[in-house]
A = this chain, B = another copy of it.
Amino acid sequence: VAAGVAAPPDVAGGEDRLIAWLRRREARGREELIGDDATLGAPAADLAVSVDQQVEGVHFSTGLDPRLLGRRLVAVCLSDLAAVGADPLHAWLALSAPTGFDYRRLLDGVLEACRRHGLRLAGGDLARGAGVRAALTVAGRRPPRGRWLRRSAARAGDRLWLAGSLGESALGRILLERGARADARGVALPRSLERPAALAAAARRAVRRHLEPTPQLALGRWLARRRRAAAIDVSDGLALDLHRLCRESGTGAAVTDSALPTSAAHRRLCSRLGLDAERLALAGGEDYALLFALPPTLRVPAVYAARAIGEITARRRVELRRAAGGAEPLPAAGWDHLA
């Protein structure tokens, strides 16, 4: 069971516990499949499969342009394939929606995103239902001479890297709640956010990032060709997903606050809206950034726009180091806990 954005808290401790339960029940004596961002090595040795869903009222608000929803669904699923180093192959859609829903517009969005990322929509199922829900299953292939990226491959001394943005998606979600509007043409902001221009640009960018994250497929492919790399899709917030990476690897980690990728305009916008930019970056969720660990001798080519944000440590704790001095524990809090 790959981590979903909205882990139901009523599963006696959340999705992580449910995964542990499934592992105990199903993994006995068999090759381990469950626990990475995608199933690895099934239904064939060089394939990876992942499923993700978008639920109205949970992952998006009623009235979202179905075309944007279709694009978001594909991007979110491909972020899982990127995190295991797989090249996109095929997708299957399960869609249920009320009478009157514009199915074709959603399919337009899905197909648009499929084309962009070299994915092919190969089948699906449509049904009626109160409220829109779309689930997408994606299959990808391990690149030639590549290795799967695993959560368990980090080692003490590794450098910790991040590609993508943190907290922008959460800010975008909040902006949509506070009156921003988006369709396939662009983002319209509420009056109060139209000035100054730099903050308005940051706001529009946050909404776009929220609605259509960028799966780090090229970087995943590059990582899959390294001798050793650990990776995880940051879908539930950096803090929670870093804890997961460390748990699977049997390590700890330290992240440096000043290395977190937040722009000055983004921080100013957060401050104006009464939001804690650091908290959004650490636990805002739905970033779909790629968090990975590499031996310290390896450098990531600049084209992938990744930045070193910390290191993997032997001691099993996850901490936030202050550039100003000192360190504090970084709790395993995801976006659920902000609600």
Contacts and interface: CB of A to CB of B under 8 A. Distances in A.
Interface of A: 1-2, 4-11, 15, 18, 21-22, 25-26, 33-34, 38-39, 42-44, 47, 49-53, 55-59, 89-90, 92-94, 96-97, 99-101, 103-104, 107, 111, 120-131, 133, 135, 137, 139-141
Contact of A52 (B18, B49, B97, B125): B125
Contact of A128 (B6, B92, B96, B101): B6
Nearest to A51: B92
B43 A141 contact: yes
A8 to B, nearest CB: 5
A137 B89 contact: no
A85 to B, nearest CB: 16
B51 A93 contact: yes
B131 A129 contact: yes
The 7 closest A-B pairs by CB, nearest first: A94-B135, A43-B139, A137-B137, A39-B123, A4-B125, A55-B129, A39-B122
A94 B49 contact: no
B39 A1 contact: no
Contacts of A18: 103-104, 107, 126
Given A10-B100, A18-B103, A94 B124 contact: no
B96 A126 contact: no
Contact of A2 (B21, B121, B124): B124
A120 B130 CA distance: 30
A129 B39 contact: no
B131 A90 contact: no
Contact of A123 (B2, B53, B111): B2
Given A2-B124, A25-B111, A33-B123, A94 B129 contact: no
Contacts of A50: 92, 123
B122 A42 contact: yes
A43 B33 contact: no
A103 B11 contact: yes
Contacts of A135: 51, 53, 94, 125, 135
Contacts of A38: 123
Contacts of A124: 1-2, 51
A55 B99 contact: no
A309 to B, nearest CB: 27
Nearest to A89: B43
